[in-house]
Structure 1
């Protein structure tokens, strides 16, 4: 089983006919058919159900297709990376970030650029779980700093720090005069929360549920910045990471701790452990771990 055979097989599975697949691969149909049969003989499994007129992939074939796509994607990436290294050297680092990473990322990048002044760094916002998984799987980023725990065997998800979540209250709101809040204080209030797919949303709503308090969600957002603006305009209350409030722009909202429940989140460093990571990427990972040691 080699890369060429896998490429032929996945193309046939995608195109669903030998004619289109052969045209895509710029080979003859007999050559494609012979390659698929040879692949089946080598692995001892039937990949194509030939009892029907149309192309049907067997259960074994579907498994091979999924795994072959990963291998081919990785092979193309490694080939591209080797060619780029040959001509340019390791000059790029791509990092996926959440909003609250602003409080530490500049310090780490300053140290990193002192060691590697010629490296071009790309910072990509990867906020939801889908964003992170897609960016890592497609090799859009080398690593991610995220509050999403990724349940994939190929991804290493390493906790680097934990932070509390705090409530943001509109300036003239009656709750802004309280020293601290309980989760029950927030029940019934117009609530602003991250949309589905964001771990922070899950952490907050779990706290409501465990306390038997029903949340009155009026706005769903992607960015904490948007939530803060809505709170400033008196449209509702939101809950955000304490470090986001501490290091973001000044706000006239009241910042209150929630004392009767523990609402916190863990921030992780995530990367594909099966992907080749250049030395500069490994060094950046070391710097992140060292910052929070």
Structure 2
């Protein structure tokens, strides 16, 4: 029984796809198929059934999966423990969406690396759904979400901080004469905002849908710096975390207009898998993160 074969078996079960598992693991698809065939020959069972273009784990596969997950968890734990003892350095892979990487992550990393200079830090970015999948597949150890409260049955999610969300415009925009803006005011404006399934976008979409408001134009960009540049050019308005526009507000490059609509509740949250073994390095990172917020 080979650890690599068990890992392949586990990833196929989670993704429901041989081809997707091959992509995640960095194997050619025939290699993934061979891993499963070798396991099936060793245990004399059928692990997956093909139903059209879909696959489903068998009852015997479910039994093996129980032990495979435990073996993989202990294997990962052993590698982490001995690496940190013998090499004197830890390793952590952090997932985050683009907004968080610009807004909060640099401060956390700077503080953590100053205390743990020998730690090997890897960063992976993506949408909320992509980050969630990365946690489930153990591609990342911990991940940050900057969005409304999220809940997943297989993750432990800690709410760290409620972010202040503001509506900002160019200093010469006509809305500068308004004492406050509501969601109805978006009806005639170009709204420049992050792409769907990213960060706090869902909060804005819900407000627009509930109010029956359709902006004059919706410009979607998954880059905060680009959004700010377009707003400063006078192309439209945007909604961003205050911390991401502090410099522009202070230097009169952007102007905040008070919000009179429903509360825009967005939180910085950190998450990891409920079955994840937390190495000393991961525990130290979690503690450092909490110290930066609590």
TM bucket by the smaller chain?
0.7 to 0.9
How far 1:271 sits from its partner (Å)? Answer: 1.1
1:286 aligns with 2:293: no
- The answer to whether the Cα contact below 8 Å between 1:7 and 1:72 also exists between their aligned partners in 2 is no
What does the per-residue CA deviation read over 1:146-203, in whole Å, with 9 as the maximum and x for residues that have no partner? Answer: 1255543321111111123211213332112324322222222111222221241110
Give the equivalent residue in structure 1 for 2:42: 35
> 1:234, 1:5 → 2: CA distance?
56
TM-score (norm 2): 0.72
Residue equivalent to 1:165: 165
Within a 5 Å distance, the mapping from 1:258-273 to structure 2 comes to 258-273=259-274
Q: Deviations over 1:40-97 (max 9, x none)?
A: 4xxxxx75679x9xxx866536766987886686577556546644652433233223
1:96 and 1:190, CA in 2 relative to 1: closer, same or farther beyond 3 A? same
Structure 1 gaps, min length 5: 41-45
- Give, in whole Å, the separation in 2 of the partners of 1:282 and 1:138: 20
Distance 1:75 1:267, change over 3 A: same
CA distance in 1, matches of 2:130, 2:88: 28
Deviation digits for residues 202-251 of structure 1 (CA, Å, limit 9, x no counterpart): 10121223334333343111122221122122222111111211257956
> Using the alignment, how far apart are the partners of 1:236 and 1:160 within structure 2?
31
The Cα RMSD (Å) is 4.1
Equivalent position of 1:131 in the other structure: 130
- The residue number in structure 1 matching 2:276 is 275
Cα separation, 2, equivalents of 1:253 and 1:49: 58
Moved more, 154-163 or 229-238: 229-238
Q: Secondary structure at the match of 2:200?
A: helix
Question: Would the aligned equivalents of 1:193 and 1:217 in 2 still touch at CA under 8 Å?
Answer: no
Gap regions ≥5 residues in structure 2: 20-29
Q: Residues 5 and 191 (structure 1 numbering): CA distance in 2 closer, same or farther, change over 3 Å?
A: closer
Moved more, 214-223 or 259-268: 214-223
